Amino acid sequence: MNFLIGAFKPACNISITFSDGKSRKQVPMKKENGKTIMVSLFQSKESIAGKVSIEPLQGKKIEHLGVKVELLGQIEMYFDRGNFYDFTSLVRELDVPGDIYERKTYPFEFSTVEMPYETYNGANLRLRYVLKVTVSRNYGGSIVEYQDFIVRNYSPPPSINNSIKMEVGIEDCLHIEFEYNKSKYHLKDVIIGKIYFLLVRIKIKNMDLEIRRRESTGSGANTHVETETLAKFELMDGAPVRDTSIATDIYHFLKDSAHNHVLGIEGESIPIRLFLSPYELTPTYRNINNKFSVKYYLNLVLVDEEDRRYFKQQEIAIYRQQDS
Amino acid sequence: MLNGTEDEEKWLAEGIAGIQHKAFYMHRALDSNNLREALKYSAQMLSELRTSKLSPRKYYELYMRAFDELKRLELFFKDDSKHGVSVVDLYELVQHAGNILPRLYLLCTVGSIYIKSKEAPAKEVLKDLVEMCRGVQHPIRGLFLRSYLAQISRDKLPDIGSEYEGDADTVMDAVDFVLQNFTEMNKLWVRMQHQGPGRVREKREKERSELQDLVGKNLHVLSQIEGVDLEMYKETVLPRVLEQVFPDEYHLQTLETLLGACPQLQPTVDVKTVLSRLMDRLSNYAASSADVLPEFLQVEAFSKLSNAIGKVIEAQVDMPAVGAITLYVSLLTFTLRVHPDRLDHVDQVLGACVKKLSNIPKLEDSRAMKQVVALLSAPLEKYNDIVTALTLSNYPRVMDHLDIGTNKLMAMVIIQSIMKNNSCISTADKVEVLFELIKGLIKDTDGADVDELDEEDFKEEQNSVARLIHMLYNDEPEEMLRIICIVRKHTMVGGPKRLPFTVSSLVFSALRLLRQLQGQEGDIVGEEASMTPNKIFQLLTQIIESLSAVPSPELALRLYLQCAEAANGCDIEHVAYEFFTQAFVLYEEEIADSKAQVTAIHLMIGTLQRMNVFGVENRDTLTHKATGYSARLLKKADQCRAVYACSHLFWVNDQDGIKDGERVLLCLKRALRIANAAQQMANVARGSGGPVSLFVEILNKYIYFFEKGNKQITSSAIQGLIELINTEMQSDSTNPDSVADAFLASTLRYIQFQKQKGGVVGEKFESIKL
SS3 sequence of A270-308: EEEEEECCCCCCCCCEEEECCCEEEEEEEEEEEEECCCC
Tell me the nearest-neighbour CA distance from B378 into chain A, angstroms.
8
Select the residue of B100, B139, B281 nearest A236 (Cβ to Cβ): B100
The residue type found at B402 is: L
- CA–CA dist B555, B291 (Å, integer): 59
- Residue B144 contacts residue B131 (beta carbons within 8 Å): no
Q: Do A238 and B276 touch (CB under 8 A)?
A: no
Residue B499's pLDDT band, with cuts at 50, 70 and 90, is confident
Closest residue in chain B to residue A262, using alpha carbons only = B273
For residue B97, name the pLDDT band (cuts at 50, 70, 90).
very high
Please check whether residues B180 and B215 belong to one and the same domain. yes
- What is the pLDDT confidence band of residue A265, given thresholds at 50, 70 and 90? very low
A208 touches A310 (CB < 8 A): no
Has residue B714 been placed in a domain? no
Whole-angstrom distance, CA of residue B378 vs CA of residue B356: 19
pLDDT at B526 over 70: no
pLDDT at A284: 96
- A252-261, B177-186, B398-407: lowest mean pLDDT where? A252-261
Query: Which secondary-structure segment (H or E) carries A179?
Result: strand A174-180
Residue of B39, B89, B137, B193 to mutate when probing chain A, most A C-beta within 10 A: B137
Q: Look at A236 and B137 and tell me if their CB atoms are within 8 Å.
A: yes
Q: Answer whether residue B180 is part of any domain.
A: yes
Same domain, B96 and B187: no
Within a domain: B390: no
Average pLDDT, integer, range A190-201: 90
Number of domains present in the structure of chain B: 2
Residue A49 touches partner B, C-beta closer than 8 Å: no
ipTM score over 0.90, yes or no: no
Residue of A nearest to B103 (CA): A234
* pLDDT of A250: 29
Pairing of the two strands A143-151 and A84-95:
unpaired
The mean pLDDT value for B590-604 works out to 91
Is the CA virtual torsion B204, B209, B212, B213 positive or negative?
negative
Burial class (CB in 10 A: 0-12, 13-18, 19+), A90: middle
CA dist B488 and B482 (Å) reads: 10
* CB pair distance less than 8 Å for B284 and A249: yes
Least CB–CB distance from A238: residue in B132, B137, B373: B137
Q: Which helix (H) or strand (E) holds A160?
A: none
Q: Which of A98, A136, A121, A65 has the alpha carbon at shortest distance from A292?
A: A121
Burial of B541 (0-12, 13-18, 19+ CB in 10 A): middle
For B125-171, give the DSSP string: HHHHHHHHGGGB-SHHHHHHHHHHHHHHHGGG---TTSTT--SS--H
In this structure, the answer to whether residues B113 and B213 fall within a common structural domain is: no
Nearest CA in chain B to A264: B273
Judgement on whether residues B14 and B86 belong to the same structural domain of the protein: yes
Question: pTM for this one?
Answer: 0.55
B485 part of a folded domain: no
Alpha carbon distance A115, A48 (integer Å) = 11
Contact A236 B139 (CB under 8 A): no
Distance CA B297, CA B304 (A): 11
DSSP letter for B451, please. Answer: G
- In whole angstroms, how far apart are CA B755 and each of B169, B609, B759, B760? 111, 30, 9, 10
Mean pLDDT across A178-195: 95
Tens digits of per-residue pLDDT, B296-305?
776 677 777 7
Q: Report yes or no: B540 and B503 within 8 Å, Cβ to Cβ.
A: no
Residue B300's beta-bridge partner residues? Answer: none
Inter-chain residue contact B136 with A234, CB threshold 8 Å: no
Flag whether pLDDT at B520 surpasses 80: no
Residue B621, Cα to own-chain centre: how many angstroms? Answer: 55
- SS3 percent helix, strand, coil of chain A, rounded to 5, is 10, 55, 35
- The pLDDT value given to residue A312: 92
Return the pLDDT at B22. 95
Q: Which residues from chain A sit within 8 angstroms of residue B135, using beta carbons?
A: 234-237, 270-271
Residue-wise pLDDT tens digits, B718-754? 988 998 888 888 776 666 777 888 888 999 999 988 8
Report whether pLDDT(A91) > 70. yes
How many whole angstroms separate alpha carbon A149 and alpha carbon A10?
23
- Residues B42, B110, single domain; the answer is yes
- The reply to whether B214 falls in a domain is yes
Q: What is the pLDDT of residue B700?
A: 93
DSSP for B122-134, please give it: HHHHHHHHHHHGG
Contact B367 A273 (CB under 8 A): no
| Contacting residues of B for A268, CB less than 8 Å apart | 134, 137
Contact across the interface for A238 and B377, Cβ inside 8 Å: no
Judged by CB atoms closer than 8 Å, whether chains meet at A239 and B276 is answered as no
Adjacent-strand bridge partners of A104: A54
Contact call for A238 and B141, based on CB within 8 A = yes
Q: Is A278 on the interface with B (CB under 8 A)?
A: yes
pLDDT value for B302 = 79
- Taken in order B601, B606, B611, B617, the sign of the CA dihedral is positive
The whole domain housing B38 covers: 1-120
How close is the nearest chain B Cα to the Cα of A211, in Å? 12
* Three-point CA angle B390, B396, B400, nearest 5°: 165
pLDDT at B356 over 90: no
In a domain, residue B511? The reply is no
Indicate the pLDDT class of residue A138, thresholds 50, 70 and 90: confident
Do B93 and B167 sit in the same domain of this protein? no
A273 interface with B at CB cutoff 8 Å? yes
What would the pLDDT profile of A266-320 be if each residue is shown by its tens digit? 568 899 999 999 999 999 999 999 899 999 999 999 999 899 999 999 999 999 9
Residue B18, domain member (yes or no) = yes
What is the rounded distance in angstroms from the CA atom of residue B716 to the CA atom of residue B701?
Answer: 15
Q: With 90 as the cut, is the pLDDT of residue B49 above it?
A: yes
- Kindly report which listed range (A110-124, B132-146, B528-542, B568-582) carries the lowest average pLDDT score: B528-542
Q: Is the pLDDT of residue A258 over 60?
A: no
Residue B693 phi/psi, 5° resolution? -60, -30
Domain identity same for B109 and B174: no
CA distance A26 to A8: 32
The Cα–Cα gap between B540 and B470 comes to: 16
- What span, in angstroms and rounded, lies between the C-alpha atoms of B365 and A308? 47
- If asked whether residues B116 and B146 sit together in one domain, one would say no
> pLDDT for B396-451, tens place per residue?
888 877 777 788 888 888 888 888 888 888 888 888 888 888 888 887 766 555 55
DSSP B40-57: HHHHHHHHGGG-SSS-HH
Contact: B101, A237; criterion CB under 8 Å: yes
Shortest CA distance to B696 belongs to which of B652, B746, B731, B733? B746
Q: A-chain residues within 8 Å CB-CB of B49?
A: none
Average pLDDT over residues B379-399: 77
Query: Mean pLDDT score of chain A, rounded to an integer?
Result: 86
Q: Which chain B residues touch A259 with a CB distance below 8 Å?
A: 370
pLDDT at A247: 32
User: What whole-number distance in Å separates Cα of residue B705 and Cα of residue B512?
Assistant: 35
Give yes or no for residue A199 having a pLDDT over 90: no
Written as one letter, the residue type at B574 is: H
A39 vs B226, more confident:
A39
Scan residues 507-546 of B and list those with Cβ closer than 8 Å to A. none
All residues of chain A having their beta carbon less than 8 Å from the beta carbon of residue B285 are none
Q: Which residues in A lie closer than 8 A to residue B103 (C-beta atoms)?
A: 234
Pick from A309, A185, A236: which is nearest to B103 by CA? Answer: A236
Size of interface A-B (CB pairs under 8 A): 86
Q: Is the pLDDT of residue A226 over 90?
A: yes
Question: Would you give the distance in Å from CA B672 to the centre of its chain?
Answer: 59
Per-residue DSSP letter, B3: T
The reply to whether B486 falls in a domain is: no
CA distance B172 to B563: 81
Test the A interface: residue of B134, B204, B319 with most A CBs within 10 Å: B134
Rounded to the nearest angstrom, the gap between the alpha carbon of residue B102 and the centroid of all alpha carbons in its chain is 50
B160 and B113, same structural domain?
Answer: no
Comparison of pLDDT for B310 and B613, the residue scoring more: B613
Whole-angstrom distance, CA of residue B34 vs CA of residue A243:
46
Is B155 found in the same domain as B94?
no
3-state secondary structure of A37: strand
Using N-to-C axis directions, what is the helix angle for B139-153 and B100-117, rounded to 10°? 10
The runs of H, that is alpha helices, within B525-615 are 533-545, 553-570, 573-589, 594-610
Inter-chain touch B194–A241, beta carbons under 8 Å: yes
CA-closest candidate to residue B750, choices B724, B728, B718, B723: B718
**pLDDT of A232:** 95
Residues B43, B107: one domain?
A: yes
Picking from B502, B493, B483, B510, the residue whose alpha carbon sits closest to that of residue B424 is B483
Which amino acid does the sequence have at B353?
Answer: C
B173: pLDDT confidence band, cut at 50, 70 and 90?
Answer: confident
- Identify the pLDDT of residue B362: 64
Q: Give mean pLDDT, residues B304-309.
A: 78
**Judgement on whether residues B148 and B115 belong to the same structural domain of the protein:** no
Residue B246: the pLDDT is: 52
- DSSP-assigned letter for residue A97: S
Map residue A156 onto helix, strand or coil.
coil
Please calculate the CA angle B479-B483-B488 and round it to the nearest 5 degrees: 145
Q: What is the pLDDT of residue B658?
A: 84
Residue B571 has pLDDT above 80, yes or no: yes
**End-to-end alpha-carbon separation of chain B, Å?**
90
How far away is chain B from the Cα of A144, in angstroms, using its nearest Cα?
42
Calculate how close chain A gets to B374, using CA atoms only, in Å: 8
Strongest mean pLDDT among A242-246, A251-255, B599-603: B599-603
* pLDDT higher than 90, residue A260: no
Q: Which among A190, A205, A229, A234 is the top mutation candidate for probing chain B, defined by the most B β-carbons within 10 Å of its own β-carbon? A: A234
| Extended strands (E) in B60-106 | none
Residue A262 pLDDT grade (very low, low, confident, very high; cuts 50, 70, 90): very low
Interface membership of B284 toward A (CB under 8 Å): yes
